Chains A and B, each alone.
Chain A
Amino acid sequence: MSPADPPPDSGLAVPVAPAPAPAPAPDATPAGRDGERPPRTRPFALLGSEIGVLFRRWRTWAMLGALALVPILIAVAVRVTTRSSDGGPAFLAEITNNGLFVAFTALTVSIPLFLPLTIGVAAGDTIAGEASLGTLRYLLVAPSGRLRLILVKFVGAGAFALAATLTVVVVGVAIGAVLFPVGPVTLLSGTQVGGWSYAGRALLLVAYVTMSMLGLTAIGLFASTLTSVPVGAMAATVVLAGASQITDALPQLGWLHPFLFSHLWLGFGDLLRDPLSFDSFGQNAMLQGAYVLVFGALAYARFATKDVLS
């Protein structure tokens, strides 16, 4: 079989590249397989594929859909009842006057349970999910590299955290605009801000809450490397989120509070004041960063050395 004619039934020939020269010139760059371009490491191909797969799953959209229900339920409940609300979640009273507060209320309500729940699912599934499907060994043999896989999975779960938070806020703004009058928003410090400033602050909130969840994501990733049963890792992650919040509510353990990853989850009040203060943002960033470093290192240490038997 001459190298010039493409063999019709040999699927190994690459249709796009011309017939390769039998021996590359000695000064040419090292040839890849089949005389293709030289091999380059493509660090982002796996990440792109991972995020694509994550958002192609039915389960991801089901979780985002469930999260979207939170602001919808709040808005509809406030709209339908005529009783004035004393107490209840933050900003609830302001909703009737200005629909833009729905997003804030929804976020405040989602942070303790719904967000950690959905993000725990995404984070717990990272490595354990692949192991249970059996695809982990094929990814590693590709070779994806153990560190690269862990990093890609972490960023993927982080992308989900961002999508989850955005869903709550965007749907909140939308449903609030539909059901209630919209106008300049009164901040916690009393000043009123217009549409663009509101949008900016809402985005800052999204950034804050997403960043808050990164510590939990790292814990989920570590749990995921310990088992090949994804549900176990997911449950462990969500339970830890709950345990952290319970511990945070016990005054006897006050000395422990600043070290809990959930401690500053609801500390975004600074972003709703005028002038804008990034103090709590910075503090939370350091706290989450520490958790990401510690649990990330643990996850890598565990994953890099373990025998992949699944």
Chain B
Amino acid sequence: MTDTPLAIRTTGLRKTFKRQQAVDGIDLAVPQGAVFGFLGPNGSGKTTTIRMLLGLSSPTSGTIEVLGEPMPRALRSVLPRVGALVEGPAAAPFLSGRANLHRFDAADPRSVATTRSARVDAALDRVGLMHAADKKAHAYSLGMKQRLGLANALLARRELLVLDEPTNGLDPQGTREVRNLIRSLADDGTTVFVSSHLLAEIEQVCSHAGVMRAGRLVAQGTLDDLRRAGSNRITVRTPDADAGRGVLARLGLTVDDASRSDGLVADLPAEVLPEHVTASLVEAGVRVRGVAVGGGTLEDLFVALTGEGFDVAG
């Protein structure tokens, strides 16, 4: 991974707000062409990091390189190649959706004015807003505003897309379309940096992920690597749950309390072989319907890395 060119690279990135370290020395490495899922609980410093990547805030210390150029020094040449949806969409309510997109495109000094109308229409079509394009933005629903925000990120060919909660407020068709959009953009070679709380979504589209906790990057790498780093789990489907629990306990496995009524889920330590578990269960007279072994879900990994606590970190 050190040899692939990186779309985003930070070294020792730090941001201190008065007495609080919002971002505490992170070394992000987002390979070009990857779909990178940026995860973390509320208050972990994700949005602060994204703002620094886009030149909206300046870091207290550390370096940032986006598309190979230092930020925020080279922002004039980097940002035209970056599309962003940060902290929710925003639009001037007294202008129509189309007029808002025209305005944002006019703000880009590298945009070509002659193709502006065509590109705006193409972006609106891509997000499914063509029919509502001429309504004033104050009349838009949350989902429509979100689509407008996505359209803004797609006004021109981008090398990097930074999307913060892209499916927020979207109906299921919209969510599916965003997933397809991300996949097709990735196939085109665009690097997509997605920050989301919907772990199932992340698992479906992302090739890489990074997890933030209290300002630090606690895990980063391909999704497969991260899953492998999590512990192995065994799922036993049996109608005799209590007897099964007893057998597993005797083998040294702790069964999750959240196991379903006909299935027991437990961590599988390396020294215990799954076939030994099956054999022990059968010998004890426990009826076994199925045994599955696999890594934990991303949600399990995420909670393991970021803690069970409900309170916001900072």
Residues of A within 8 A of B (CB): 10-17, 32-34, 36-37, 39-43, 45-46, 48-49, 53, 56-59, 133-135, 137-145, 148-149, 305, 307-309
A133 touches B58 (CB 8 A): no
Residue of A nearest to B96 (CB): A56
A143 touches B80 (CB 8 A): yes
Task: Report, as a range, how many residues of chain B touch the other chain.
Answer: 35 or more
B218 contacts partner chain A, Cβ-Cβ < 8 Å: no
Could you list 14 further interchain pairs (A-B, Cβ under 8 angstroms) beyond the known A11-B126, A16-B114, A45-B107?
A: A11-B125, A12-B188, A14-B122, A46-B107, A133-B93, A134-B90, A137-B90, A138-B86, A138-B107, A140-B55, A141-B84, A144-B107, A307-B57, A309-B56
CA gap between A111 and B87 in the complex, in Å: 42
10 nearest A-B pairs in the assembled complex, by CB-CB distance: A134-B90, A11-B126, A142-B107, A49-B106, A143-B79, A11-B122, A307-B57, A144-B107, A39-B110, A142-B108
B152 touches A138 (CB 8 A): yes
Report if A137-B115 is in contact (Cβ < 8 Å); known contacts: A142-B107, A143-B76. no
B154 contacts partner chain A, Cβ-Cβ < 8 Å: yes
Q: Can you pick out 25 interface pairs between chain A and chain B where the beta carbons lie within 8 Å of each other?
A: A11-B124, A11-B126, A12-B122, A13-B122, A14-B118, A14-B122, A16-B115, A33-B156, A40-B110, A43-B109, A45-B106, A49-B106, A53-B99, A56-B99, A133-B92, A135-B90, A135-B92, A135-B104, A137-B90, A141-B54, A141-B55, A141-B84, A144-B109, A305-B58, A307-B58
Report if A137-B126 is in contact (Cβ < 8 Å); known contacts: A14-B119, A16-B114. no
Task: List residues of B (112-160) whose CB comes within 8 Å of A's CBs.
Answer: 112-115, 118-119, 122-126, 152, 154, 156-157
B115 contacts which chain A residues (CB < 8 A)?
14, 16-17, 36
B107 touches A36 (CB 8 A): no
Distance to closest chain B CB from A137 (angstroms): 6
A148 contacts which chain B residues (CB < 8 A)?
109
B86 contacts which chain A residues (CB < 8 A)?
137-138, 141
B99 contacts which chain A residues (CB < 8 A)?
53, 56
Residue of A nearest to B106 (CB): A49
A138 touches B104 (CB 8 A): yes
Task: List residues of B (54-96) whose CB comes within 8 Å of A's CBs.
Answer: 54-58, 75-76, 79-82, 84, 86-88, 90-95
Residue of A nearest to B112 (CB): A36
A49 touches B51 (CB 8 A): no
B156 contacts which chain A residues (CB < 8 A)?
33-34
Chain A's interface: helix, strand, loop or mixed, by majority?
loop
Distance to closest chain A CB from B28 (angstroms): 18
Distance to closest chain A CB from B175 (angstroms): 18
B118 contacts which chain A residues (CB < 8 A)?
14-16
A137 contacts which chain B residues (CB < 8 A)?
54, 56, 86-87, 90
A56 touches B106 (CB 8 A): no
B103 contacts partner chain A, Cβ-Cβ < 8 Å: yes
A45 contacts which chain B residues (CB < 8 A)?
106-107, 109, 111, 113
Distance to closest chain B CB from A171 (angstroms): 25
B82 contacts which chain A residues (CB < 8 A)?
141
A144 contacts which chain B residues (CB < 8 A)?
107-109
B184 contacts partner chain A, Cβ-Cβ < 8 Å: yes
B55 contacts which chain A residues (CB < 8 A)?
140-141, 143
Distance to closest chain A CB from B153 (angstroms): 9
Distance to closest chain A CB from B80 (angstroms): 7
B79 touches A142 (CB 8 A): yes
CA gap between A143 and B94 in the complex, in Å: 22
Which of B56, B112, B152 is A307 in contact with, Cβ under 8 Å?
A: B56
Residue of B nearest to A149 (CB): B107
Report if A12-B157 is in contact (Cβ < 8 Å); known contacts: A39-B80, A49-B103, A137-B90. yes
A15 touches B122 (CB 8 A): yes
Distance to closest chain B CB from A254 (angstroms): 45
Which of B79, B112, B123, B125 is A141 in contact with, Cβ under 8 Å?
A: B79
CA gap between A141 and B79 in the complex, in Å: 6
Distance to closest chain A CB from B149 (angstroms): 8
CA gap between A156 and B293 in the complex, in Å: 65
Which of B56, B94, B124 is A58 in contact with, Cβ under 8 Å?
A: B94
A138 touches B90 (CB 8 A): yes
B102 contacts partner chain A, Cβ-Cβ < 8 Å: yes
Report if A308-B79 is in contact (Cβ < 8 Å); known contacts: A16-B115, A33-B156, A37-B112. no
